[in-house]
Copies of this chain bind each other. A is one copy, B any other.
């Protein structure tokens, strides 16, 4: 089922039209501390006297405790099955808000308005909702589509540069899955100077790449694993950094994961050397390396063997023949991975 996604920088008008059509008995708006201050005031005209529910900002609050608090506030606000929830925020707000709405009275309708690039191109569309539980990311959740998603780039110019980079890594991934043209266009972007108001089209292309994959495989039975490109190595780098007490952003880890998996793609599927070098240069210049030595390899391999997407403990990667031509479910040996990590270090100058 293709999700209803509206691309626009006139969010007030889009939201007014959508809410008008849904005719909810009441509207609940879920925000975090940041979006309550910086985004909510601009949407007053569309949401009127909706009940605003605020959660603390930060992934550490994507928890059952927060969910319980939000359910209770919904009850206190007299929400019914005909109520509509508007999730206004980054991935934490849309993931948690989608789960809360999907389980309240066995499911009420919800609208996602992602306010970060990562939220727009990744979490906000695709029907994955969830929370972290017992130390595992997204361990509890359901698949359920938002009634509508409003994608706008008007929130992005004021994002911290680290947040922009984090989201852009997922765009880079989508670009590589989509086509060589899209890949070239993205690595021509200057992340520091880019004017996002005028970049709604590249956001739209990115979301549509994700949608076309998700629509073909909503429950993650197969094809959807394409979206794991860069993430087998990326998750391992993210976990290693966390273990060292020097956490990196998800996007930074994914960017370095994309480089390493492009190396693997080159080694096993003849992914063009030229594109590999273009990618590595872009990532080195915009993100910098995540520093690893060969002493870190055993830890990294262990994380990869225990990845959620792994089946029977093998290292599983999505790889590319070239941009736009991906192959899911490649089993990678420990030796191949170590070689790829060696080359990643060379390419990144560490």
Contact = CB atoms under 8 A, between A and B. Distances in A.
Interface of A: 25, 64, 68, 71-72, 75, 78, 80-82, 102-107, 128-130, 133-134, 136, 138-143, 219-220, 308-313
Contact of A308 (B105, B128, B310): B105
Contact of A64 (B68, B128, B142): B68
Contacts of A64: 64, 68
A198 to B, nearest CB: 36
Contact of A107 (B78, B142, B313): B142
Contacts of A129: 106
Contact of A81 (B78, B102, B308): B308
A106 B81 contact: no
Please state the number of chain copies in the assembly: 2
B143 A106 contact: yes
Of the candidates A68, A71, A106, A136, the one having the most CB atoms from chain B within 10 angstroms of its own CB is A106
A66 to B, nearest CB: 13
Nearest to A99: B103
A75 B134 CA distance: 9
Nearest to A25: B312
A181 B264 CA distance: 68
A58 to B, nearest CB: 22
B82 A311 contact: yes
Contacts of A103: 103, 140-142
Nearest to A102: B142
Contacts of A312: 25, 80, 82
Contact of A140 (B71, B134, B143, B219): B71
A105 B311 contact: no
Of the candidates A25, A140, A308, the one having the most CB atoms from chain B within 10 angstroms of its own CB is A140
Nearest to A140: B103
A81 to B, nearest CB: 7
15 contacts: A25-B311, A25-B312, A71-B133, A71-B134, A75-B136, A80-B311, A82-B312, A102-B142, A104-B139, A105-B139, A105-B140, A105-B141, A106-B129, A106-B220, A107-B143
Contacts of A140: 71, 103-105
A129 B102 CA distance: 12
Given A68-B64, A75-B136, A311-B25, A130 B106 contact: yes
Contacts of A308: 80-81, 105
Given A71-B133, A71-B140, A142-B102, A310 B107 contact: no
A25 B306 CA distance: 13
A308 B80 CA distance: 7
A70 B292 CA distance: 35
